[in-house]
C-alpha cells in the first residue's frame, strides 16, 4: 500500500496534508495522535471508505481513485481486513459463523480455516457461542480472526483495543500482530495509547 501527497480537510479544518508513506508485505505501522487528529479519517481513506480529496492511495500499484464503487468493494474484500473499537459481530451468528462471513462474501467458505483461526485466537471451545455470551476481549479476538479470514494484504485496525483493559489490550494486540505476520498481512493500527504500541514504527498526526 502506498499513500502519496495525502491530504484531508473538513471545511476550514485541515486534518493533515502531504502525507507520504508506503507499507510493504508484513510491515507494521502505528498511527498515533490525540483525539480529533484524524486517525480514523486516515484509515478510512486508506480503506477506500472515504473519497480522496488530495493525493493518491495505491493498493498493489493500483490507484483506488480509479476504481468504480463496485470494483473498490470487490478489491476491498480481498485486499483489506478491518477491525474497529467496537467488534461489530453479527449477534445472530455464532463465533465461528462470524469468522466465516468474509468467506461467504468472497465465495470461499472453508470451515476448517475458520476453526484454525479460532484456535489461533485461543477460542476453539467458544466456536458455537453467540457474541452475547463472549467477553469483550473474546469478541475482539473473533473480530481479528474475521478480519484475517480472506488473508488480506493489509489489516486496518482503528483503536482495536480501545474498549479493553490493559491485560486484554496487550493480549489482543499481540495476537493480532503475530497472526498477521504469519498470514503475510501488513498492519496499520491507530491508537492514542502510546504505551501499548511502544517500539513499533509510527506515523504521527498532530
Ligand atoms: N463528517 C464530519 N464532518 C465534519 N467534521 C468531521 C467529520 N468527521 C470527523 N470530523 C472531525 O475531524 C476530526 C478528526 O476526526 P477523526 O475521527 O479522524 O479523529 P481521531 O484521531 O480518530 O479521533 P479519536 O482518537 O477520538 O477517535 C475531528 O475533529 C472530527 O470532529
Ligand atoms: Mg478515531
Mean pLDDT, 10 residues at a time, the chain of 206 residues: 97 96 96 94 96 97 95 94 94 98 96 96 96 96 97 97 91 95 97 92 94
| Domain-wise residue ranges, the chain | 2-204
Say how far apart CA 90 and CA 9 lie, in whole Å: 33
pLDDT for the residue numbered 96: 98
Candidate of 33, 41, 49 to mutate for ligand 1, largest count of ligand atoms within 8 Å of Cβ: 41
The protein residue whose alpha carbon is closest to atom 11 in ligand 1 is 36
Q: Which fold has domain 2-204?
A: Rossmann fold (3.40.50)
Nearest ligand by distance to the CA of 8: 1
The pLDDT value given to residue 65: 93
Under 8 Å between Cβ of 79 and 58 = no
* Residue 74: predicted pLDDT: 93
**Ligand 2 midpoint to CA 159 (Å):** 7
pLDDT at 19: 97
Enter the DSSP assignment of 179: H
Check residue 204 and give its pLDDT. Answer: 94
Task: Identify the CA nearest to 99 among candidates 135, 138, 154, 71.
Answer: 138
The helix or strand, by DSSP H or E, that contains position 176, with its residue range, turns out to be helix 166-183
Q: Dihedral sign, CA of 50, 51, 52, 58?
A: positive
Q: Determine whether the shortest distance from the Cβ of 14 to ligand 1 is under 6 A.
A: no
pLDDT for 101? 97
Interacting residues of 90 by C-beta distance below 8 A, sequence separation 6+: 97, 98, 101, 131
Cα–Cα dist 109/190, whole Å: 30
Q: Say if pTM beats, i.e. exceeds, 0.75.
A: yes
Query: What pLDDT, on a 0 to 100 scale, did the predictor assign at position 184?
Result: 96
Do 121 and 182 contact (CB within 8 A), yes or no?
A: no
Question: What is the rounded distance in angstroms from the CA atom of residue 137 to the CA atom of residue 127?
Answer: 15
C-alpha distances (whole Å) from 83 to each of 60, 67, 111, 160 are 21, 23, 21, 6
Nearest atom in ligand 1 to the alpha carbon of residue 85 is 27
Q: In terms of Cα–Cα distance, which of 134, 110, 106 is closest to 121? A: 134
* Residue 43 CB less than 6 A away from ligand 1: no
Q: Is the CB of 47 under 6 A from ligand 1?
A: no
Q: Is the CB of 12 under 6 A from ligand 1?
A: no
1 in Cβ contact with 152 (< 8 Å): no
Grid cell for residue 56: 493518491
Distance, in Å, from the CA atom of 43 to the CA atom of 8, rounded to the nearest integer, reads 12
Amino acid at each position: 500500500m502506498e499513500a502519496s501527497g495525502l491530504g484531508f480537510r473538513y471545511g476550514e479544518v485541515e486534518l493533515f496534508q502531504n502525507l507520504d508513506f508506503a507499507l510493504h508485505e508484513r510491515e507494521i505501522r502505528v498511527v498515533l495522535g490525540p483525539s480529533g487528529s484524524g486517525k480514523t479519517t486516515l484509515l478510512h481513506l486508506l480503506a477506500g471508505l472515504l473519497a480522496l480529496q488530495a493525493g493518491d492511495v495505491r493498493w498493489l500499484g493500483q490507484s483506488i481513485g480509479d476504481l468504480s464503487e463496485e470494483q473498490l468493494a470487490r478489491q476491498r474484500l480481498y485486499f483489506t481486513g478491518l477491525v474497529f473499537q467496537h467488534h461489530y459481530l453479527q449477534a445472530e451468528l455464532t463465533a465461528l459463523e462470524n469468522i466465516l462471513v468474509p468467506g461467504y462474501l468472497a465465495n470461499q467458505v472453508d470451515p476448517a480455516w475458520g476453526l484454525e483461526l479460532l484456535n489461533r485466537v485461543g477460542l476453539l471451545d467458544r466456536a458455537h457461542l453467540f457474541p452475547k455470551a463472549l467477553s469483550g476481549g473474546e469478541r475482539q479476538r473473533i473480530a481479528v480472526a474475521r478480519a484475517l479470514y480472506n488473508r488480506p494484504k493489509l489489516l486496518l485496525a482503528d483503536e482495536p483495543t480501545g474498549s479493553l483493559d490493559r491485560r486484554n489490550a496487550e493480549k489482543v494486540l499481540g495476537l493480532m500482530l503475530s497472526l498477521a505476520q504469519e498470514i503475510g498481512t501488513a498492519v496499520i493500527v491507530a491508537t492514542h495509547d502510546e504505551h501499548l504500541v511502544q517500539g513499533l514504527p509510527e506515523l504521527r498526526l498532530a
